[in-house]
Chains A and B, each alone.
Chain A
Amino acid sequence: MRLELRRYKVVNALFGSETKLENGTLYVNKEELVSLLNESGFFERVEVYIAKPGENTRIVNIMDAVQPRWKTDGSSPFPGALGPMRIAGRGETNALDGISILQLGKRGGIQEGFIDMSGPGAEYSFFSGLINIALNFVPFSGVDDHAFDSYTRAALLKASVYLGRTTRDLDPDETEIFSIQSGSPGLPRVAYIYQLQSQELYRDTLVYGRPVRSIMPILLHPNEILDGAIVSSNYIIASQKNPTYFHLNNPVVRELSRRHGRDLIFAGVIAVNEHSTLLEKERSAAFAAKLALQLDVRGVVITQEGGGHADTDLMLNCSECEKMGIKTVIIANESSGPQGDLPPLVDVAPEADAVVSTGNNDELVKLGVMDKVFGCSDNAQDEERWRNMSESFLARIYTSTNQLGWNNLTTLQF
């Protein structure tokens, strides 16, 4: 399976009369974009903002983030989630770098998070360094939660394709080839156990458009992940969620692919769900370890989304693998309390002797007061509160302690 990721660097974005990419500047026809996203008339309105690094802007009520993408054969870059099913991971895919599209919305059950475009809070979110096209979806009152979820997600993915399409006649700035076809037999075989969180509405992750709430572990090719097989529908604690943007550019998959054939053989990705009951967790972990054994690997990296009882999945996946003689490394963040003196995880295993920490959610961070707030236009009082917020727990800063290992934040014991 061979994937060609053609990358285009975006350095500026402006509203304009024609949507196009020209010399690194993305022009967006706002009216055309809004009418596409609200074709169904489901939303009372769709607001579109552009937020750039360094601006005095706070973006709030963030549900998901995605990268503009385009398949050169015209098929959907999110098969099954947008458009018909096909296996992802082959052919040519165009991706816009330096820019993201944010899905904003307010509903009960969606945990609010924010991104600061400047000030001390901007040091914690990857998205603070990107140009963000923020889409605020305001539904008519009384709409059903399931409908809100599916309409907003579909609109986000459509926006990705709409902006990604601007690359269709352009040469990329850089091309990356992903293939794990060949590799020296002497190198250690390694797999990746990719914990997805899919439990209920607003707590879902989709593989080819299907929530994985009840799956047994499945084997994926790394290219499938880099090419849109996984889409988020998970609106949990902001710091520790894996947005679609990160699934598409999963840093563990990228690093294992990059070192394939040089330091290791990347044998595949075992996608597992973080189930809600102990029996399901145990069944899933035992089966994931069995798949790793069948792949004949010597080691696995394990990542999670969320926390709390997902820590149990981490520990079970770790100990089941270690019991079979497969070495493990876990990536996890911590809830060690504001002082960092409380137990960082809610579950432990003696086998978990190699853990990468991506930071403590509970640390308090000072913030700058902002001029503008995007994503809260319906409530002036809330908007004012967001604008003046001068400190926050890291937990609310979007993707700040991401557990795919996106950032370089970590903790040290003092």
Chain B
Amino acid sequence: MIRVVHYINQFFGQIGGEDMAGIGPRIEYKPVGPGIALKEAFKGKAEIIATVICGDNYFMENMEKAVDEIIELIRPLNPDLLVAGPAFNAGRYGPACGALCKAVGDRLKISSVTGMYPENPGVELFHRDVYCVETGPSAAGMRKAVADMARLGMKLALGEELGPPFQEGYLPKGFRRNVRAEKSGAVRAVDMLLAKIDGRDFRTELPMPEFEKIPPAPALSDLRKSTIALVTEGGIVPKGNPDRLESSRATKYLKYSIEGLNDLSGEYFESVHGGYNNRFANLDPDRVLPLDVLREIEREGEIKEIHKFFFTTTGNGTTIENSRIFGKEIAGYLRRNGIDGVILTST
């Protein structure tokens, strides 16, 4: 028999509504609220040994503390599975379910499943870490949600191989894995084209990734009063690459001084970028980081000055997560140091 702990909030725990959202975690050794339907859905193959109930506000306002407290309630029970929710589209309940599922996996090494409406903020926060069954927006979808969670939860507790999300009913965790199709790619393509021409249903195998659109900053009002910094993803570093910038899939960015330099010579600088032919950049690194012409412009007074440091990384195969972190940190530095504009070169 699979031993299950069920987590629900104060509302589904039948303690109260908003007025009771501040209550701390408590435990009951029986199914409560949606637990009754969950118990039925297990069809005798799993039993709910305890229900943990916590107020949504208590959880969200003291997240670390609440997780610690609930973990300590669950630990001695030694269950095989945690079922959290379903949270439908409830904006505090969803993240609480996600956080708790992740924590029991990380800290107690037990399986877990939750259920949410795709737009619940808990999905965005935790879909990579936890199995989350897709539910409707409200408790009207309780029966189906609980049945799906029970089925998936039992599979997880037994360590059974899971099929893809659209078969198993969970929201994609965002990991694309290689698998075999029945037909070759060419045959699938012709089938898909004929379906598309005829207006029949077809399923793209590669939904377009969504790239964040960054609106360009407004133009500088007066260049003559502006301090300009140089930033590049072109892999320009001091010769010998003393800080070991990666030639692809960079995990860091670096900051180097150009104070007193009028020109980047190939004697002292080089490119370590692995995504283009570096020969021309190494002959004259100004081709990637145009210090020489910028100095001329500075001398002519067209800009106030060039910032004394430049930033560099390698954009080749570098993850979007890392790029986002680099961008935020570099922009933060530039803002703190009164830089008005940036020349950002890419390769």
Contacts and interface: CB of A to CB of B under 8 A. Distances in A.
A340 B177 contact: yes
B17 to A, nearest CB: 37
B206 A355 contact: yes
Given A355-B206, A405-B187, A410-B181, A341 B176 contact: yes
B176 A336 contact: yes
B219 interface: no
Contact of A408 (B172, B174, B184): B184
B187 A255 contact: yes
B165 interface: yes
A300 B192 CA distance: 11
A355 B204 contact: yes
A341 B128 CA distance: 9
B335 interface: no
Given A264-B194, A342-B320, A408-B184, A413 B189 contact: no
Given A301-B193, A345-B206, A331 B186 contact: yes
B260 to A, nearest CB: 37
27 contacts: A251-B185, A299-B196, A301-B193, A303-B189, A327-B193, A329-B190, A329-B192, A330-B189, A334-B176, A345-B206, A345-B208, A349-B208, A354-B202, A355-B206, A356-B206, A357-B206, A363-B177, A404-B185, A404-B186, A406-B184, A409-B180, A409-B185, A411-B179, A411-B206, A412-B176, A413-B174, A414-B177
B244 interface: no
A301 to B, nearest CB: 5
Given A329-B192, A412-B164, A413-B172, A252 B181 contact: no
Nearest to B316: A308
B196 to A, nearest CB: 5
Interface residues of B, number: 40
Interface of B: 128, 162, 164-165, 172-190, 192-194, 196-198, 202, 204-209, 211, 317, 319-320
Contacts of A408: 180-185
A30 B175 CA distance: 49
Contacts of A353: 204, 208
Interface of A: 188, 190, 251-252, 254-256, 259, 263-264, 298-301, 303, 327-332, 334-337, 339-345, 348-350, 352-360, 363, 394, 402-414
Contacts of A406: 184-186
B322 to A, nearest CB: 11
A410 B194 contact: no
A251 B173 CA distance: 33
Given A355-B206, A408-B184, A413-B165, A339 B175 contact: yes
Contacts of B186: 251-252, 254-255, 301, 331, 404-406
A407 B164 CA distance: 21
Given A334-B206, A413-B164, A356 B188 contact: yes
A342 B179 CA distance: 17
A344 B172 contact: no
Contacts of A254: 186
Given A188-B194, A327-B196, A345-B209, A358 B185 contact: yes
Nearest to A365: B178
A110 to B, nearest CB: 15
Contacts of A329: 189-190, 192-193, 196
A254 B178 CA distance: 25
Contacts of A358: 185
Given A348-B209, A350-B208, A357-B185, 9 more contacts: A254-B186, A327-B193, A330-B189, A344-B176, A358-B185, A360-B178, A404-B185, A413-B174, A414-B164
A327 to B, nearest CB: 5
Nearest to B203: A354
A410 B175 CA distance: 13
Contact of A331 (B128, B183, B189, B194): B189
A394 B178 contact: yes
A354 B204 contact: yes
Contacts, number: 164
A360 B179 CA distance: 10
A405 B185 contact: yes
Contacts of A334: 176, 206
Nearest to A254: B186
A350 B202 CA distance: 16
Max chain B C-beta neighbours (<10 A), residue from A359, A404, A408: A408
Nearest first, the 6 closest Cβ-Cβ pairs linking A and B are A405-B185, A405-B186, A340-B176, A251-B186, A343-B209, A355-B206
Residue with the highest number of chain A CB atoms closer than 10 Å, among B175, B182, B317: B175
Given A299-B196, A339-B175, A405-B184, A357 B209 contact: no
B185 A410 contact: yes
Nearest to B198: A188
A344 B181 contact: no
Contact of B176 (A259, A327, A394, A411): A411
A343 B209 CA distance: 6
Nearest to B321: A342
Contacts of A301: 186, 189-190, 193
A94 to B, nearest CB: 24
Contacts of A410: 178-181, 185, 188, 205
Contacts of A328: 193
Contacts of B188: 356, 405, 410
Contact of A259 (B162, B164, B179, B190): B190
B179 A341 contact: no
B233 to A, nearest CB: 14
A106 B290 CA distance: 36
B181 A299 contact: no
A79 B204 CA distance: 38
A342 B319 contact: yes
Contacts of B319: 337, 342
A345 B209 CA distance: 7
B190 to A, nearest CB: 5
B192 A354 contact: yes
Contacts of B190: 190, 252, 255-256, 259, 264, 301, 329
A414 B176 contact: yes
A343 B211 contact: yes
Contact of A298 (B179, B197, B202): B197
A18 to B, nearest CB: 37
A344 B85 CA distance: 33
A412 B184 CA distance: 15
B178 A409 contact: yes
B209 A344 contact: yes
B77 to A, nearest CB: 30
